[in-house]
Copies of this chain bind each other. A is one copy, B any other.
Amino acid sequence: MTKVHNFYAGPAIIPQEAIDGAIEGLKNFKNMGLSVVEISHRTPEWEETMEQAEQIIRDLFNIGDEYAIAFMQGGASAQFTLIPLNLLPEGRKAAYTKTGTWAGNAIKEAKFYGEIDVVGSSEDKNFSYIPKGYTIPSDAAYFHITTNNTIFGTQVHELPACPVPLVADMSSDIFSRPIDLKRYDLIYAGAQKNMGIAGVTLVIIKKELLGKSGRKIPTIFDYRTHIDKQSMFNTPPVFAIYVLYLTLKWLKANGGVEAAYERNKAKSAALYAEIDRNPLFEGTTTVEDRSMMNLNFIMKDKSLEKGFLEFAKANHCVGLEGHRSIGGFRASLYNALPLESVKVLVGIMKEFELMAKSGKIQVAAGATV
């Protein structure tokens, strides 16, 4: 089978080892003679895997007992509601930054529960940068950020000083780099970008944060329910957790987040270098806020974009379409994407440039090649 280079933004590339392990588990889980998806989640065999998944997460981010871990359902979109429900007392306010579509959705849902102070926004320039220098009010119940903006290709590279609990949506860059865990109070992330398949959401939460909103919370939407029952209050999304476990096991075996960071720096540097060098292309975000995960770029001559996409596809590079809300291109370089795929893409960009120079592709007047 021809190797396909997978730049999808999510669901996204999974390490082959995780896919192979998932197939083994589907065939015969732990020699039970049954598939991992057709046994009770109360079997010791499955409970052991749940515990191992939690332990690997703790190992990767060096998470101590002061934090609880939960595997939940509903994606980041469900967390947008659960966070204020669990953390924002009636009559109090929370602070958010508006750095993209998902951050905007988080703000919209939080407004159901109280006043939301948008302390920083990059909406004025179509979310092409990360706002800085804002002030987080010390009377906010918490401060919410999106560490990586999948659609717009920006990433928070330096955390602001934060006088209140910090809540972070890490859906598209979790485990891509080391973090200073103690600065965070709640981290959440859908699995389908950087740690597995769609259908499970990881929540890492400082225990002392819980039970303080004073609200009546439906049982299933109370973080304590899931934490108290080790994410087995009801049937967990077994297969999604299994692939998450296998993906993070692969990550740990390959040097953990420190090594992933080095690989991600090398991959993104190689592609940004070509975006900046190649006269046909340009980046869409402020250089200092560029994401290592989602690299957005356009062509100076818009009329060439369709042709480039087709050329990339013909060369087995898929998932490069920019999000439908902004167009252009987006190359997602998640942990599982090998440097080799980036090199192939860079090669294609160079080849397209040569084709344009040699007149095989018509470049509009005014665009310099």
Contacts and interface: CB of A to CB of B under 8 A. Distances in A.
Interface of A: 1-4, 6, 8-14, 19, 22-23, 26-28, 32-35, 37-42, 73-78, 80-81, 105, 108-109, 112, 190, 192, 197-200, 216, 218-221, 233-240, 243, 316, 318-319, 324
Contacts of A220: 74, 77-78, 80-81, 109
Q: Shortest 6 CB-CB distances between A and B: which pairs?
A: A199-B237, A73-B73, A4-B33, A37-B197, A81-B218, A77-B234
A33 B2 contact: yes
Contacts of A38: 6, 8, 11-14, 19, 197
Given A11-B38, A14-B35, A235 B22 contact: no
A6 B34 contact: yes
16 contacts: A1-B28, A1-B33, A2-B33, A4-B33, A6-B34, A14-B38, A19-B27, A19-B38, A22-B26, A41-B198, A73-B237, A75-B234, A77-B220, A108-B219, A197-B238, A199-B238
Nearest to A218: B81
Contact of A239 (B112, B233, B240): B240
A127 to B, nearest CB: 19
A118 B255 CA distance: 57
B33 A192 contact: no
